Amino acid sequence: MRNIQVLLNLREKLIPENRSIYDEFYRFRNVSLWGRLIGLYRTGLYRQTLVGNITLWLAALFKRI
């Protein structure tokens, strides 16, 4: 099962702030290129390393999130 589906099952147990971030992430996954990039920026998601962050943004760019 994909992580996004597991989180969907647990959505109601998330605190409101994390539920809001999850909802934004869920919405921006299937929109246009600019929508994905803006959505990633708005959610504030990041990885702990520079390489990880670059990979995250590339994944959003190529619709692999």
- For the cut 80, the answer to whether the pLDDT of residue 65 exceeds it is yes
Give dist(CA 28, CA 18) in Å, integer. Answer: 15
* Residue 54 CA: distances (Å) to CA of 10, 17, 21, 28, 58: 28, 25, 20, 18, 6
Whole-model pTM?
0.77
Q: pLDDT band for position 1 (50/70/90)? A: low
Q: For 2-54, what is each residue's pLDDT tens digit?
A: 888 898 999 999 999 999 999 999 999 889 999 999 999 999 999 999 999 99
Q: Give the total number of structural domains in the chain.
A: 1
Tokens, residue 33: 């290129």
Instruction: Give residue 37's domain range.
Output: 3-61
